[in-house]
């Protein structure tokens, strides 16, 4: 590394009687943060500030770059308030990068020919993508993944592509792979290291990550590099050869193999740079020239590292701004010098939580590892413990819920044993989740902006912040990657509760109301669209917006469940409703791991005629579908392409079948035993009752999926007590159980009422379901709702059995409206050509089937070809640790 010479003088001021000029080269995330720091310190009122920006748009959130493919527009990603530049008198030159710096004359020349004299210059030029020297790398169809313009180019080219390769299995590489999958491409990841995310996770974490990523349909090649790009006669990519002499046929290649500091301007003007790049700076972010600073990824910090994360860049921006403010005589507190940064990382890649913090690889002498691994569920947790019992670091894959608490505890002895920290909640020997109360005030909650727990507490107690948006505005915490929002909310609520203040229980940043309150607003005001609700009852800053991933499906479910009562069209894919639905609802089918879909006809009570059974068999045979009888008394047909779904359902609907709603947050099935009709132990007709219940509640949209069962006697063959509402026959009628769950967190249902007649049973189930739909939180099963709701089962019994709130007539009327207005979604879809138009594999080639959906024979049926997976991709949301 080139050493840093001593500074003979401070940053020079302007000539007496003139206004000093500060020039910022680069307007990325770090550059914008620097401008905000200048404004906060009053520097923009004391100096002329000129910004030269290479990109055609102001600074945007590069951390969330991939969310563009999930529907966010470039404007949504902007980090600059519309009036920020004008308000602070900042001159921003877009699309006009600096081309030369003359340190003797103290001038910067831009590509347009503009020349600006500076008194202080700040280089925030960031980094550029590293493209390995692979022959053919300049072929048409080769891209890098760095800017919005890169994404726009990839999106356009992918319209005529079927397969893509991403070179690089790090943070941005997995982002890019997720983006390609989201564009419908069969996607490969090529990583030279022996595992994905080698810098962040260890070998065990890498195995868990790879297993989960491959299950999501991406093909992973580790321990190999690119050897050549093969192009056709027109110069377009057709294949990529690998270093092990294998070959991947592909139409598109994205290079995401790391970045390098953009330090060419510094080199050209004679500033020292490191042996491996990066502009050499001291602890105040000053270069060898006292008038020139460097911040962000282009800088080689005083500890000899180039930092590619957003949080260190923000720290550098703060340090440089403080130094300039001091030189200009602004009355602000100086910032600490930048001597290094926490490299902790938390991300959600392809829906997989991945985090590392502290000494994640156990490099400290005498340290020990505490490991929990569950290969079946893709969860891997490792904590590194020092000789004195202190937490040194860790790796979390598949379940990073504890990251927000563990990272601040690094360097201290945890309040519980390390074994308790890695065991899953509820496991023998596991501990209850640590809350923010276990953290000291000095613990950093927001790593992006270096905000401590004490600062968040002070925002509530000293600055009267009572909502999360107010805390964010006051402290800047939570405005970076967003991974700390849960911890911020908990600390804020603790402080508010301690002071006796009202706690903001809003659904999300868009609405100040709970889900239950939004339900009442929609019902009372008879609102039929999300836009109406957001504009009239959203938070002021969210009105006229688009909502978020939390509120859109939640409100969509509310409107769907209330549709008959408020006058809305109950069809979930009409107009605005379509944009609110979860992934599976878009095609009224469950997306499977290889990109195909499943068909699940409703079979009430498991009772089916031979004629209907023959139709299912014929459909499965004619379309080559995998057929399975489920534990819920239904027949699943797997392996249909999206373009085949209408053809399959046309035949099923003609035969009298309806949608089984296996894709929706709705009633799935009412399981039953054969009851007294056939069984010698049965005391009631359980099959008839199961059919009646399933036909009554079919299509009922709710906060989460609903399952039910009816057992014909106390022997409980239908396992009714493991269901959201279960019915068990007695010699005197029916016992009704509620709040059961046989899923990941099993819970036996509780007895609500006993010895009920048919009419009494149905009336109580009507009330119970509508009260649950009315008061539950988003994605809250009846089991969790029953344990959370104040008063628990006793309160629910008072409401739905004894009508303590006087709601029962209303609850029954809501259910009656649902039953009266029920329409089968697939029958409605087949009758409308516009609705059918969505069922194509490729928008640009509607008649072409997806060639990546392939199968191989197994046990006289088919299964997905595991060597050609092209399965579902969840929207990629990058959190803490992404390059800026």
Q: Which of 656, 645, 655 is nearest to 592 (CA)?
A: 645
The answer to whether 634 and 660 have CB atoms below 8 angstroms apart is yes
Q: Where are the alpha helices (DSSP H) in 789-832?
A: 792-800, 808-821, 825-830
In residues, how long is the chain?
884
DSSP codes, 2-67: PPPPPPSSPPPPPPTTS--EEEEE--SHHHHHHHHHHHHTTGGGTSEEEEE-SSSS--B-GGGGGG
Give the DSSP H/E element, type plus range, for residue 474. helix 468-475
Is 548 known as a binding-site position? no
Q: What order of strands is seen across the sheet that includes strand 237-242?
A: 226-231, 237-242, 247-249
At a CB cut-off of 8 Å and minimum separation 6, what does 427 contact?
none
Is 679 known as a binding-site position? yes
Is 717 known as a binding-site position? yes
- Angle of the 610-623 helix axis to the 645-654 helix axis, nearest 10: 160
Phi, psi dihedrals of residue 320, rounded to the nearest 5°: -65, -40
Secondary structure letter of residue 69 according to DSSP: G
> Hunting for tokens 């009554």 — which residue is that?
696
> Hunting for tokens 């550098």 — which residue is that?
316
- For 92, what's the count of Cα atoms within 13 Å in the CB-facing half-sphere? 23
Rounded CA gap, 835 and 540, in Å? 35
Rounded CA gap, 832 and 141, in Å? 38
The burial of 303, by beta-carbon neighbours within 10 Å (0-12 exposed, 13-18 middle, 19 or more buried), is given as exposed
Phi, psi dihedrals of residue 507, rounded to the nearest 5°: -60, -40
Helix/strand/coil (H/E/C) assignment for every residue in 125-177: CCEEECCCCCCCCCCECEEECCCHHHHHHHHHHHCCCCEEEEECCCHHHHHHH
Give the DSSP H/E element, type plus range, for residue 405. helix 403-409
The answer to whether 224 and 193 have CB atoms below 8 angstroms apart is no
Look at the alpha carbons of 523, 529, 530, 535 in this order and tell me if their dihedral is positive or negative.
Answer: negative
Rounded CA gap, 479 and 501, in Å? 24
Instruction: Give the residue ranges of the annotated binding site for siroheme.
Output: 717
Instruction: Give the residue ranges of the annotated binding site.
Output: 673, 679, 713, 717
Instruction: Give the residue ranges of the annotated binding site for [4Fe-4S] cluster.
Output: 673, 679, 713, 717
């Amino acid at each position: 590394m080139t050493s840093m010479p001593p500074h003979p003088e401070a940053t020079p001021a302007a000539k007496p009687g003139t206004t000093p000029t500060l020039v910022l080269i680069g307007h990325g995330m770090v550059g914008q943060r620097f401008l905000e720091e200048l404004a906060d310190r009053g520097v923009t009122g004391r100096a002329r500030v000129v910004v030269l920006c290479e990109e055609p748009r102001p600074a945007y959130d590069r951390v969330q770059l991939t969310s563009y493919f999930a529907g966010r527009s470039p404007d949504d990603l902007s980090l600059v308030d519309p009036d920020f530049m004008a308000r602070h008198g900042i001159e921003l030159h877009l699309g006009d990068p600096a081309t030369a710096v003359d340190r003797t004359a103290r001038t910067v020349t831009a590509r347009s020919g503009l020349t600006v004299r500076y008194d202080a210059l700040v280089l925030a030029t960031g980094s550029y993508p590293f493209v390995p020297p692979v022959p053919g790398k300049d072929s048409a169809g080769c891209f890098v993944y760095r800017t919005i313009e890169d994404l726009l180019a990839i999106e356009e080219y992918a319209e005529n592509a079927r397969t893509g390769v991403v070179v690089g299995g790090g943070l941005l590489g997995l982002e890019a792979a997720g983006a390609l999958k989201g564009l419908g491409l069969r996607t490969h990841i090529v990583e030279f290291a022996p595992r994905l995310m080698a810098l962040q996770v260890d070998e065990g974490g890498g195995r868990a990550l790879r297993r989960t990523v491959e299950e999501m349909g991406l093909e992973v090649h580790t321990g190999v590099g690119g050897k050549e790009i093969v192009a056709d006669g027109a110069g377009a990519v057709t294949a990529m050869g690998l270093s092990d002499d294998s070959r991947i046929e592909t139409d598109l290649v994205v290079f995401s193999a790391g970045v390098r500091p953009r330090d060419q301007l510094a080199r050209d003007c004679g500033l020292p740079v490191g042996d491996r790049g990066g502009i050499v700076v001291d602890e105040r972010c000053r270069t060898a020239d006292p008038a020139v600073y460097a911040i962000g990824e282009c800088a080689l910090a005083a500890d000899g590292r180039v930092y590619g994360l957003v949080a260190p860049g923000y720290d550098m921006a703060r340090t440089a701004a403080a130094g300039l403010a001091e030189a200009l005589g602004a009355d602000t507190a100086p910032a600490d010098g930048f001597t290094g940064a926490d490299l902790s990382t938390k991300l959600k890649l392809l829906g997989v939580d991945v985090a590392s913090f502290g000494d994640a690889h156990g490099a400290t002498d005498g340290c020990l590892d505490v490991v929990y691994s569950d290969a079946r569920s893709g969860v891997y947790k490792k904590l590194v413990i020092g000789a004195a019992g202190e937490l040194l670091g860790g790796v979390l894959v598949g379940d990073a819920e504890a990251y927000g608490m563990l990272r601040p505890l690094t360097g201290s002895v945890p309040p519980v044993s390390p074994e308790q920290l890695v065991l899953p909640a509820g496991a023998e020997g596991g501990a209850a989740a640590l809350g923010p109360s276990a953290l000291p005030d000095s613990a950093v909650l927001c790593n992006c902006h270096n905000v401590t727990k004490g600062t968040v507490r002070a925002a509530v107690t000293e600055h009267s912040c009572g909502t999360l948006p107010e805390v964010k505005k006051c402290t800047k915490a939570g405005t970076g990657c967003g991974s700390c929002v849960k911890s911020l909310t908990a600390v804020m609520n603790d402080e508010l509760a301690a002071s006796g203040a009202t706690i903001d229980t809003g659904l999300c940043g868009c609405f100040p109301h709970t889900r239950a309150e939004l339900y009442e607003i929609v019902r009372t005001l008879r609102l039929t669209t999300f836009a109406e609700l957001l504009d009239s009852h959203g938070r002021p800053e969210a009105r006229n917006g688009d909502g978020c991933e939390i509120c859109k499906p939640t409100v969509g479910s509310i409107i769907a469940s209330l549709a008959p009562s408020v006058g809305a069209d109950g069809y979930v894919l009409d107009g605005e409703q379509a944009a609110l639905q979860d992934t599976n609802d878009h095609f009224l089918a469950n997306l499977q791991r290889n990109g195909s879909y499943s068909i699940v006809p409703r079979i009430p009570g498991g009772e089916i005629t031979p004629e209907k059974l023959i139709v299912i068999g014929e459909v499965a045979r004619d379309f080559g579908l995998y057929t399975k009888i489920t534990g819920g008394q239904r027949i699943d047909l797997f392996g249909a392409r999206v373009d085949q779904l209408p053809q399959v359902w046309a035949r099923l609907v003609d035969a009298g079948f309806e949608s089984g709603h296996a894709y929706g947050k709705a009633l799935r099935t009412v399981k039953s035993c054969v009851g007294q009709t056939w069984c010698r132990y049965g005391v009631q007709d359980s099959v008839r009752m199961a059919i009646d219940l399933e036909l009554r509640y079919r299509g009922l949209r709710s906060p989460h999926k609903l399952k039910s069962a009816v057992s014909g006697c106390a022997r409980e063959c239908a396992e009714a007590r493991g269901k959201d509402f279960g019915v068990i026959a007695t010699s005197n009628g029916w016992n009704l159980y509620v709040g059961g769950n046989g899923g990941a967190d099993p819970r036996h249902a509780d007895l609500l009422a006993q010895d009920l007649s048919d009419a009494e049973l149905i009336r109580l189930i009507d009330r119970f379901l509508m009260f649950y739909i009315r008061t539950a939180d988003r994605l809250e099963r009846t089991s969790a709702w029953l344990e959370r709701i104040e008063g628990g089962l006793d309160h629910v019994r008072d409401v739905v059995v004894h009508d303590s709130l006087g709601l029962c007539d209303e609850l029954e009327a809501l259910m009656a409206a649902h039953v009266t207005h029920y329409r089968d979604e697939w029958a409605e879809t087949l009758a409308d050509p516009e609705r059918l138009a969505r069922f194509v594999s490729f928008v640009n080639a509607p008649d072409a089937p997806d060639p990546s959906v392939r199968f191989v024979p197994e046990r006289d049926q088919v299964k997905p070809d595991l060597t050609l997976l092209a399965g579902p991709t969840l929207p990629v949301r990058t959190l803490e640790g992404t390059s800026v």
